[in-house]
Structure 1
Amino acid sequence: MFQPPTTKTNPRPNGPHRSLQRPLLSQQAIRHLRPLPLRESRLRLQGVRSNSQPNSFTWNTLIRAYASGPDPLRSISVFLDMVSDSRFGPNKYTFPFLIKAAAEVSSLSLGQSLHGMAVKSAVGCDVFVANSLIHCYFSCGDLDSACKVFTTIQEKDVVSWNSMITGFVQKGSPDKALELFKKMESEDVKASHVTMVGVLSACAKTRNLEFGRRVCSYIEENRVNVNLTLANAMLDMYTKCGSIEDAKRLFDKMEERDNVTWTTMLDGYAILEDYEAAREVLNSMPKKDIVAWNALISAYEQNGKPNEALLVFHELQLQKNIKLNQITLVSTLSACAQVGALELGRWIHSYIKKHGIRLNFYVTSALIHMYSKCGDLEKAREVFSSVERRDVFVWSAMIGGLAMHGCGNEALDMFYKMQEANVKPNDEAELLFKEMESSYGIVPQEKHYACIVDVLGRSGYLEKAVKFIEAMPIPPSASVWGALLGACKIHANLSLAERACTRLLELEPRNDGAHVLLSNIYAKSGKWESVSELRKHMRVTGLKKEPGCSSIEIDGTIHEFLSGDNEHPMCEKVYGKLNEVMERLKANGYEPEMSQVLQIIDEEEMKEQSLNLHSEKLAICYGLISTEAPKAIRVIKNLRVCGDCHSVAKLISQLYDREIIVRDRYRFHHFRNGQCSCNDFW
C-alpha cells in the first residue's frame, strides 16, 4: 500500500497522537491576522473551555471555518491546539478540512504530512479523507500520488471518481479522464452531473465530438440532472468540437442562460471565424461583461485580424461600468504589436499604471513584445528592467526584441544572464543549437532547423546550409526550404534557388510567396522569359502575389498605403512630397536601383516610376508631412523592404535629419544619419 511521507508523532498517555510539527507562522502572528468573525468563534471556544472541555465536533467546526476562510493555513494552528490542549484527537471528519487547506495553498509538503498523520490515525483509507487527498495532490500537481491514493480506496464513491476525472482534466490529461470514465461505466457507478461536466470538458479539450455526443446521450438516457453548469458544459463541448449546429439547437432549448452561455456561443462562432454571427451574439446579450468583449477581441487578434480587434477594443472603451482586465490588455497589446499601433500601446501601458494593474508574466511579456514590434526598443528595455520576477516568456520577449532590432550581441548577453538567473530557456541558434538537447533538454524542432538554415544562408554559407539540411534527422519542412530560398535571393544563387523552390512547392503547392521569390530571383538574373512563364503559371492556377502594404500611425490612427495608392484622402499631398523628396535625393547623388524593378518594363522612366510607387516610400512621405522633427517616423511593411527603398530611407534620414524605423516581414531597420542598423545586411 502507498505510504506517503509521515509526520513525526509522539504518543500521548491516555490520549491521541500529538504532532510535534509547528506551522511556519508563529502562533502570535496567526492570532493577530485572524478575521473578526473567526476570532469571535475562538473566544466562544475559549469560553466553553472554562466550563467544560470542547468536544471533537466543536474543534472540527472551528477548523472547518478557518479552512474555508481567507487564510486557510490558520486552520493548522487550531489543529495544533487541538492535539496539544484537548483530550480529543483528530478523526475522519478533521482531516478533510485540513487537507482542503493544504490544497487551497497548493502546499505539497503539508498535504504529505497530513496524509502521513491520517494513515497513523487509521483513517487514511477513509473515503472522505482519501477524496480530499486526491483533490489536494492534483492541486499540487502530484498526479502519481493522486492515482495511488485512488487505488487504495476499497469502496469508491462517485466523489472519488469525480475527483480523479476533474483532476485529470484540469492538469492537462483529458485522455486519461475519458479512459477513467469508461472504467467507471464498466463498474456500474452512477455518474452525477459533476462527472458529466468533467467528462464533457475532457471531450472539449481533445476535440472528441463523437465521444461528446455519446456523453450527451448518456445524460439523457440516465436522467442525469441537467443544471445550468452542465448545460453550459455541453454547449462548450459542441462549440470547441466545431459543431455549431448542435450548439445552436441546445442554446435555443435552454430555458435558463447566463453570461457563460452567451459567451460560449460567441466563442463558438469566433472559432469558425463567423465574426458576423459572433457580433450578433454580443449585441443580443442581456448583459455584456468583460469576458464576452475579451472573447471577440481575442478571436480577431488570434486569427490575424488585428485592426478589427482594435476596433472592438475602441468600442469597449465607450462602455460604462466595464473594467478592462489583464486578458483584455494582453489581447489588445498583441493586436497593437501586429499593426504597429504604438500610441494605443502606450495608452494601455499608462492605463495599467493608473489603475494599479499587476504586471504578471503575461502582461509584462505583451508590453515588451508590443514596444519591440512597434519599434521602441528603449521602452521595451525599460519594462523589462522594471520587473523583479521574470519567467522564460519575459526573458524570451526581451531577447527576441533585441534580435529583431539587430542587437545580436546584446541578445546573446541577455541569454547568458537568463541562464545565470536559473531560468531554463525554451528556444535558441548555431553556437547554442548543438547544446539545446544536451544542456537544456530541448529537442530541436523544425523552427530551430529553419533558424540555423537562415543564419547560414544569410551569412553566405549556402553549401553548408544544404549539408545541414541533408543531415537533418527529421524531414525538412517548408520553413526550412523557404529559409534557403530567401538566402538564394540575397546571394543570387539561381540553381540552388530552383532546387529549394521545387522542394518547397512539393510541400506547399499553393505557396504564392515561393513563386514570387523565385520570380524575383529570375528577374534579378535577367531571365525575363522565366519570369513570364512563372507568372503565367500563377495566373492559370489562380495564385496571386500578396500586395505590398505599409502602414503608419499618426495621432492614434493607422494609415495604410498600397503600392501606387491613390485612395488616401491626402494622396495629392503625399505624391507632392514624394516628388520633392526624390528630386532632392537625386540632387545629392541618388540613383534608382533598377535591378529592384522585378517586372518587364522597357522604358527607364517607367521603371523609375514603378520604384517610386512602393508603399513604404508613400508611408514615409506621409510621415514627413504629418509629423515634425525630432519625432521618429515608424512604418510597418508586410513584405521584405526592397533594396531601393532601403537606400532611399537611408538618404532621407540624412537629408531631412529624421529617424526612420521600418519593420518589414523579417526585421527592424533603424535609419539614422544615412546609416541603417542592419548594416545593409537583411
Structure 2
Amino acid sequence: MRWGPPERDLGARRLSLPAQTPRLRAPNHSPPRLGLPLRHPSAYRHLLQLAAGTQSLILCRLLHSHMVRAGYKPGLFTHNILLNAYCRCCDMATAHQLFDRMPLRDTVSWNILSAGFSRAGYSGAALGVFREARSAVALLDRFSYVGALSACADLGYVKVGRAVHGMVVVNGLARRAFITNSLIDFYSNFGVINKVRLVFDGAEELDEVSWNSLLTAYVRIGWPEVAANILVWMHRSGVKLNSFALSAILKACTDMKDSQDSEDVRRMLHGCVTKVGLDLDLFVGSAMLDVYAKNGGLEEAIKVFECIPNPSVVVFNAMIAGFSRLGTESCGKYRVEALRLFRKMLRRHIKPSKFTFKSVLEACISLGALKCGRQIHAHVIMNNLQNDDFIGSALVTLYSTSHLMIESFRCFEMTSKQEIFTWDCMISAYTYNGHFEKAVSLFKELLYLSKEPHQFTLSCVINACSNSGMLRVGEQIHGCSMKLGYDKFTVCGNSIVEMYTKLGELDASIKTFQDLGSLDSFSWSAMISSYGIHGNAGDALMLFEKMKECRTHRLRYYESMSMEYGLSPNSRHCACLVDLLGRAGRIVDAEDFISKSGYATDPLLWRVIMRACLFYGETEQGIHVGERLMMMEPFSSSSYILLYNMYLDAGKVSLAMRTRGLMRERGVNKETGTSWIEIGASVYSFMSNNSQQPHMDIIYGKLEEIMIHIRQKMGDAGLKILKLEYQSEMWKKSLVNSHGELLALAFGLCKLPKSVPIRVMKNQRVCGDCHTTMKLFSELERRDIVVRDPVRFHHFSWGSCTCGDYCIVENLFIGFKSRELIKLFEAIHGFPQIKDGYNPATRIA
C-alpha cells in the first residue's frame, strides 16, 4: 500500500526561507518561486536537488521537517530524491533510517544507498546493500554492478569482484561500454592485465573512456612501452585522448629503461599532446614538464613551464623537483635555480605543499646551504608541516650533514614517526656523525615499538656496529636480519660482509658472501678487500680473477680500469700503484709515477712513499718527502711525527726539535690514542697516558707476568718496553701507558676464556714495539690476537702476523704479501722483479 494520501492532495502551506537565499538553477528544471505556497511536489524536488548539489545538510533537514509538519506523504520518486540528498550530504545514518521506512523501493533506491555508502568510505556496507538488493529486487541495472565492482576494488576482494563479473555476463550486460570500463578499472587495480584485455577485446561497445582505461591499465602495472603502442593504436583508430590518460602515460614514460627509445617516445608524446590541443592543460603540462625534468631535458622543461598559463603549485613542484634532481647529477647551479624558483613561487603568493618543501630541502642538502635550509625550516613551521615524515626526514638529513645533531634529533622528535624511513634517516645521521651507540639505541627503540625494519634500516645500524667494534650486537642484528629474510638481500648482505671484515671475523664474512643471493660490484670489492686487509693475498687475487669471469665491472688493476672498462682512476687508485712500487723498494719509480699521474698535489700519495722510505731505511729521501708533505698539509700531525722520527734516525736532532717546535707553534696536536676491547655486552676503552682507568692493577700484573717470561726467553729483543724494571712505577705510569693496545690486550687475557680470540680496536697505527710485543704474546700465550688499526687487521698467531711486518701502508692493497704484490705489479707494468732477502728497518713509527 502507498504510504499516506496521493501527492496531488498536498495542502497549501508556506515554506518560509530567508530572503537572501540564492536562487540556484537546478539542471533541466525551472526554479521554484520561493515565498509562494507549495502547491506542487516539484517544489520539494527542486529544493532537495539544490540541497544535494550544494551538500547542504541543514537545507535537507529543513525540507524533510517541513514535509513531516505539513503532513506530506512523498511518493517513490520524491523519496529517492530525499534519500539522495542525505547520501550526498554524507548523513548515512539518517539515509539508512529513511530507506528502512520507505514503503516502496526500486532499483534506484538501492543504487542510491549503495553509492552513498561508497562515497562516505563504507565500502563494506555498500557491498552489503548490493547483496540485499539481489534478494529484494528482481533485476539490477548497470549502476548496481558498477557500484559493487567499485566496492570490491576498494576492499581488495578479487574473488567477489570476479563473481560480480559473472553476474554481469549472465544478465547480458558484459558488452556494454559502461560496464566494460568498470571491469577494466577493477582488474587493473589488481594488475590482472590478461583479464583487462579479455574484457576489452570481448566488448561490443567501446568509447573513449574504454580506450583510455586500457591505456591507464598498462601504465598502472608498469608497462609504458605497451601503453605507448596502445596510444598509437588509439590515434590510428580516431579515438580522442583525454588529459587523464596522457598525464598517466607521460609519468610512466619517465622510467623507461632504454634511453634512446624513451627519448623517442617522449618526443612522440609531446607532439601528440600539442596536436590534440592539450599542451596548455594544467595536468598534462605538469606531467610533460616532469618527464623532461626527470630525464635531463632541462631546456625543454623550461619551455614547457613558460608556456603554462597561471602555473599551479603542482607545476612549480615538478619544476623545483626537476632542478633539484638534475643538480645531484651535474653541477650545483641547477640546485640554486630550484631555490630561486621557490622564491618566485612565494612572491606569487602560491602556498607551498609538503612536496615543495621536500624538494627545496633536498636542494639545500646537496648545496650544503644550512642558512637557507634554516629559512625554509621556518616556512615549514609557518605552514604547520613540521610533523610530516617526508619533510621531517629531509630536515634531519639537513642538520646531520652539518653535524648539528641536537637540531637533527629535535626535527626527528617532531615527526609522527609512522614511516620507517624517518627512523632510517635518524639512525643514518647518528652513524654519519660517529654516534654509534645512539644509533644502536634508536634501533632498539624501533624494535620496542613493534615496527618492522627493512634492509636499509638494518644496513645503517650494522654500519654503526662495524665502526664502533660492537661485534656481539652486530651478530644479534645479523640474526634479526635472518629472521626477517633480509640477510640474502644485496644491500643488507653487503653491510654484514663489511661488518665482519672490520671486526676481524673473516670466516663469517666469507660465509655471508657465499650466502648472498645476488652479488653486485660492492659485494665483490668488499670481499676482496676483506681478504686483503686480513693478509690473505692469494685468496684476494683468486677472487679477483673469479670476479672477472663473472663479468663484474669493478676491477682493481689500474690500467685495465680505463682501457677495458672506461673507468677513470682517482687518487686512491694511484695510491695503490705507488704502494706496489714502495713495497718493491722502487721509491724513485714511485715518485716518477706520481709526477705523471696528475695527482702530484695529493698528500696521500706522498705519505705512502714516506712510509716506504721508513720501511727501507731511505732516510734522506724520506726527509725530502716529509718536508714536501709539511708544505702540502701544514696542520696534519702525522706528517710532523714521521718527519721528526726521520730526523732522529739521521742524527739531525736540531731539525727534529725544530719540527716539534713548529708543531707547537701551529697548534697541531696529535690525536689521543684510544684502544678498546669488547667483553660480553660492554666495551672497555684505554687511552694513552691515562693510568686512572679501572682494573689497572690486574692489567699491570698480567703484563708483568708475560713480559718476565718473554725476557727470560728472548732477552730484551730490541724492545724499549723490556729495557726497564717491571716493578718500576716509571714503567707502569710512563712507558706502558703510552701503548693502549697492550693494556686492552692484557685486560682481554684476564677476562676472556682461552678459546676466544682477543680482538682489540685502536684509532692509530700499531707501532713497531707493540707489533713485535704482540707477536711474542701470541706465541707465549698460544692465543689468537686480532688488532684493527685505521688501515688494516693484524692477525697474530704463534709469533707471526698476517701483515708480513709491513704494518705501515695506507691504501687498498694492504695485507698483500710482497712477492704476490710484485708479481701483480709485473703483470701490469712489466718492471723487473727485485731480489728477495731485504732486511726491513726495525723502527716503525
User: Is TM-score (shorter-chain normalized) higher than 0.5?
Assistant: yes
Task: Describe the superposition over 1:269-320 as per-residue Cα deviations: whole angstroms up to 9, x where unpaired.
Answer: 2222111222233345555754333222211212344344334445555x43
Distance of aligned partners of 1:623 and 1:167 in 2 relative to their CA distance in 1, 3 Å threshold: farther
Distance of aligned partners of 1:82 and 1:251 in 2 relative to their CA distance in 1, 3 Å threshold: closer
How much has 1:392 moved relative to structure 2? 1.4
Distance of aligned partners of 1:566 and 1:316 in 2 relative to their CA distance in 1, 3 Å threshold: farther
Amino acid at match of 2:796: F
CA distance in 1, matches of 2:478, 2:791: 26
CA distance in 1, matches of 2:293, 2:464: 30
Name which of 767, 770, 773 aligns with 1:642: 767
Task: Describe the superposition over 1:238-280 as per-residue Cα deviations: whole angstroms up to 9, x where unpaired.
Answer: 5664224303321331235423343333333222211122223
Task: Tell me which residue corresponds to 2:267.
Answer: 148
Residue 422 (structure 2) pairs with residue 298 (structure 1): no
Task: Tell me which residue corresponds to 1:454.
Answer: 579
Name which of 237, 241, 255 aligns with 1:139: 255
Distance of aligned partners of 1:125 and 1:555 in 2 relative to their CA distance in 1, 3 Å threshold: same
Q: Is the 8 A contact 1:336 1:370 kept in 2?
A: yes
Q: Is the 8 A contact 1:457 1:484 kept in 2?
A: yes
Amino acid at match of 1:538: M
Amino acid at match of 1:61: S
Residue 521 (structure 2) pairs with residue 392 (structure 1): yes
Amino acid at match of 2:159: L
Tell me the percent identity.
25
1:86-485 to structure 2, matched below 5 A, reads 86-88=203-205, 93-94=209-210, 96-104=212-220, 106-107=222-223, 110-111=226-227, 113-114=229-230, 116-118=232-234, 120-121=236-237, 129-141=245-257, 142=259, 143-152=262-271, 153-154=273-274, 155=277, 156=279, 157-167=281-291, 173=296, 176-177=297-298, 179-205=299-325, 206=327, 210-234=336-360, 237-238=363-364, 241-242=369-370, 243-256=372-385, 257-285=387-415, 287=417, 290-314=420-444, 316=446, 319-357=448-486, 359-425=488-554, 427-428=555-556, 432-473=557-598, 475-485=600-610
1:505-584 to structure 2, matched below 5 A, reads 505-584=630-709
Distance of aligned partners of 1:357 and 1:183 in 2 relative to their CA distance in 1, 3 Å threshold: same
Residue 75 (structure 2) pairs with residue 75 (structure 1): no
Task: Describe the superposition over 1:523-546 as per-residue Cα deviations: whole angstroms up to 9, x where unpaired.
Answer: 344433222111111110111112
Q: Is the 8 A contact 1:53 1:86 kept in 2?
A: yes
Q: Which runs of 5+ in 1 are unaligned?
A: 1-32, 598-602
Q: Secondary structure at the match of 1:640?
A: coil
Task: Tell me which residue corresponds to 1:55.
Answer: 176
Residue 158 (structure 2) pairs with residue 35 (structure 1): yes
CA distance in 2, matches of 1:448, 1:546: 27
Q: Is the 8 A contact 1:135 1:146 kept in 2?
A: no
Q: Is the 8 A contact 1:494 1:521 kept in 2?
A: yes
Q: Is the 8 A contact 2:282 2:308 kept in 1?
A: no
Name which of 741, 744, 761 aligns with 1:619: 744
CA distance in 1, matches of 2:562, 2:550: 20
Task: Tell me which residue corresponds to 1:6.
Answer: none
Q: What is the Cα-based RMSD across aligned positions, in Å?
A: 3.2
Task: Tell me which residue corresponds to 2:841.
Answer: none
Residue 708 (structure 2) pairs with residue 610 (structure 1): no
Distance of aligned partners of 1:596 and 1:100 in 2 relative to their CA distance in 1, 3 Å threshold: farther
Distance of aligned partners of 1:58 and 1:498 in 2 relative to their CA distance in 1, 3 Å threshold: farther
Task: Tell me which residue corresponds to 1:66.
Answer: 187
Amino acid at match of 1:148: R
Q: Which moved more, 1:272-281 or 1:56-65?
A: 56-65
Count of residue correspondences: 628
Amino acid at match of 1:472: S
CA distance in 2, matches of 1:103, 1:553: 54
Which is higher, the Rg of structure 1 or of structure 2?
A: 2
Task: Tell me which residue corresponds to 2:34.
Answer: none
Amino acid at match of 1:59: T
CA distance in 2, matches of 1:103, 1:590: 80
Q: Which moved more, 1:610-619 or 1:654-663?
A: 610-619
Amino acid at match of 2:337: F
Amino acid at match of 2:345: I
Distance of aligned partners of 1:296 and 1:591 in 2 relative to their CA distance in 1, 3 Å threshold: farther
Amino acid at match of 1:147: R
CA distance in 1, matches of 2:692, 2:237: 81
Q: Is the 8 A contact 1:596 1:643 kept in 2?
A: no
Distance of aligned partners of 1:109 and 1:498 in 2 relative to their CA distance in 1, 3 Å threshold: farther
CA distance in 2, matches of 1:131, 1:282: 35
How much has 1:371 moved relative to structure 2? 0.5
Distance of aligned partners of 1:53 and 1:185 in 2 relative to their CA distance in 1, 3 Å threshold: closer
Distance of aligned partners of 1:607 and 1:556 in 2 relative to their CA distance in 1, 3 Å threshold: closer
Q: Is the 8 A contact 2:396 2:408 kept in 1?
A: yes
Task: Describe the superposition over 1:93-150 as per-residue Cα deviations: whole angstroms up to 9, x where unpaired.
Answer: 4555445554555446545544554454456987655443332222233452353234
Amino acid at match of 2:384: E
Distance of aligned partners of 1:262 and 1:440 in 2 relative to their CA distance in 1, 3 Å threshold: closer
TM-score by length of 2: 0.68
How much has 1:495 moved relative to structure 2? 3.2
Q: Secondary structure at the match of 2:643?
A: helix
Q: Which moved more, 1:405-414 or 1:234-243?
A: 234-243
CA distance in 2, matches of 1:525, 1:314: 55
CA distance in 2, matches of 1:113, 1:185: 27
CA distance in 2, matches of 1:280, 1:666: 35
TM-score by length of 1: 0.83
Distance of aligned partners of 1:522 and 1:354 in 2 relative to their CA distance in 1, 3 Å threshold: same
CA distance in 2, matches of 1:287, 1:677: 47
Amino acid at match of 1:530: L
Q: Is the 8 A contact 1:309 1:335 kept in 2?
A: yes
Task: Describe the superposition over 1:327-377 as per-residue Cα deviations: whole angstroms up to 9, x where unpaired.
Answer: 221111111111221111101011112233463211010000001110001
Q: Is the 8 A contact 1:369 1:380 kept in 2?
A: yes
Q: Is the 8 A contact 2:478 2:487 kept in 1?
A: no
Q: Which runs of 5+ in 2 are unaligned?
A: 1-155, 723-727, 808-845
Distance of aligned partners of 1:128 and 1:288 in 2 relative to their CA distance in 1, 3 Å threshold: closer
Q: Is the 8 A contact 1:266 1:282 kept in 2?
A: yes
Q: Secondary structure at the match of 1:559?
A: strand
CA distance in 1, matches of 2:715, 2:228: 75
Distance of aligned partners of 1:35 and 1:500 in 2 relative to their CA distance in 1, 3 Å threshold: farther
How much has 1:39 moved relative to structure 2? 1.8
